Amino acid sequence: MLYLIILVICARSANCEYVKNFKIEESVPIGTRIGYIGTPVPGQPRPPGPPYLVVPSADSPIADDLDVDQNTGEIRTNIVLDRESKDKYRFSAIPLTEEGETIKVTIEVEDVNDNRPTFPQSSFTVELPENAPKDSKRRLPAAIDQDLGIFNTQRYIITSGNVGNAFRLSTRNKDGILNLDLIVNGYLDRETVDKYSLVIEAQDGGNPPMTGVLNVDVNIQE
């Protein structure tokens, strides 16, 4: 999905600075058109047309990632963009044959759900005494998701192994990470069950959600 926002900032009617903001989703195919630098917008002063001298910002090299045609002003992707690697590109387009102000161009790379929640390890072991009080908790490893917002880790569920509904999960969000605790939900009896093999699934907010799995062995001690 592609968006285009054009701002024209005028200090005086004859002296305008053009600011063009494009938005494009990450992971689109190589060669996807982002837009044209000099595209006019109805009701706004016409920006200077091509050709342009394209000058990247010092902190935003574009030569490898974008294909900017200086003769037409067309911008296309030169690689598969990855927001987690670079979320924004900036450059200036200086008109070469027309009078007019430099066009300040910003391209924002938007997040898509292309990363799944990932636990730092595939399995984890917890030791609990059988006389552990109800609501006792043990910290479990949290799943990390490189995506933003709704596409980050949203919830955890126990998908199997929770015999007698012995445990439940509790979460808390800190510094963008959904931390996870295992809570004793009732009274444990080692003579009845001495080991629980829980499968915990992390889900993001995609539709359908992307998931990660943690296997948790809970050993009940005397």
pLDDT higher at 178 or 5 = 178
* pLDDT of 20 strictly over 50: yes
Mean residue pLDDT of the chain comes to: 90
- For the domain bounded by 123-221, which CATH number is listed? 2.60.40.60
194 CB-near residues (< 8 Å, 6+ apart): 219, 220
* pLDDT of 58 strictly over 60: yes
Report yes or no: 99 and 155 within 8 Å, Cβ to Cβ.
no
Rounded CA separation 124/53 (Å): 57
Q: What is the pLDDT of residues 61-112, one digit of tens each?
A: 898 999 999 999 999 999 999 998 999 999 999 999 877 789 999 999 999 9
Residue 36 CB-half CA count within 13 A = 12
Task: Compute how many other C-beta atoms are within 10 angstroms of the C-beta atom of residue 156.
Answer: 24
Rounded CA separation 77/54 (Å): 16
pLDDT higher at 69 or 4 = 69
**Do 2-110 and 123-221 agree at the fold level?**
yes
CATH 3.40.50.300 assigned to 2-110: no
Strand-pair partners of 98: none
Domain map (residue ranges) of the chain: 2-110, 123-221
Rounded percentage of the chain residues whose pLDDT exceeds 90? 77
Q: What is the pLDDT of residues 146-162, one digit of tens each?
A: 998 999 999 999 999 99
pLDDT of residue 2: 53
Residue 11's pLDDT band (cuts 50, 70, 90): very low
Rounded CA separation 134/73 (Å): 66
Q: What is the pLDDT of residues 181-215, one digit of tens each?
A: 999 998 999 999 999 999 999 999 999 999 999 99
